Homo-oligomer: A and B are copies of this chain.
Amino acid sequence: MSILSVAKEHLSADDIHIKLRKDYPGIGLATVYRTLELLVKRNLVYKFDFGDGRARYEIISDEKGKNHHHHLVCKKCSRVIDYNDFIDKEVELLQKTEKGLSQKYNFKITDHLIQFYGLCDKCK
């Protein structure tokens, strides 16, 4: 099922529905939403909001974070670029920050969202 999510990244529920129908012609959109909700709850899929009014889904392909990455979002053309180049330094700071915040606010941090906004090479 979720195998088909591997195709391309940042797909909307409708994108996924259309792709799925090629292999499972009778599948309904409601089932797609229900399945995605489950996958998100089980931490198998990320659900993102890039500001265009529809949720985007991205598979989590490993359990150890190798696949983990952040996003550059173009404000003009809405293009989304994945990056994980600076994760090394980021991770270090993130861990410190998460630890500090957890203590100060007595908050159990399980996840984070980091996105940079601006203009991509084609738009600036």
Q: How many copies does the complex hold?
A: 2
User: Is there an interface contact between A112 and B116, defined as CB atoms closer than 8 Å?
Assistant: yes
User: Is there an interface contact between B97 and A81, defined as CB atoms closer than 8 Å?
Assistant: no
Number of interface residues of A (CB under 8 A): 36
A117 on interface, CB distance cutoff 8 Å: yes
A57 to chain B, nearest CB (A): 14
Beyond A72-B109, A108-B124, 14 additional pairs, beta carbon < 8 A:
A49-B49, A86-B97, A86-B100, A86-B101, A89-B93, A90-B97, A105-B121, A107-B118, A107-B119, A107-B120, A109-B116, A111-B118, A112-B114, A113-B116
Q: Which residues of A contact B (CB under 8 A)?
A: 49, 51, 72, 74-75, 81, 83, 85-86, 89-90, 93, 96-98, 100-101, 104-121, 124
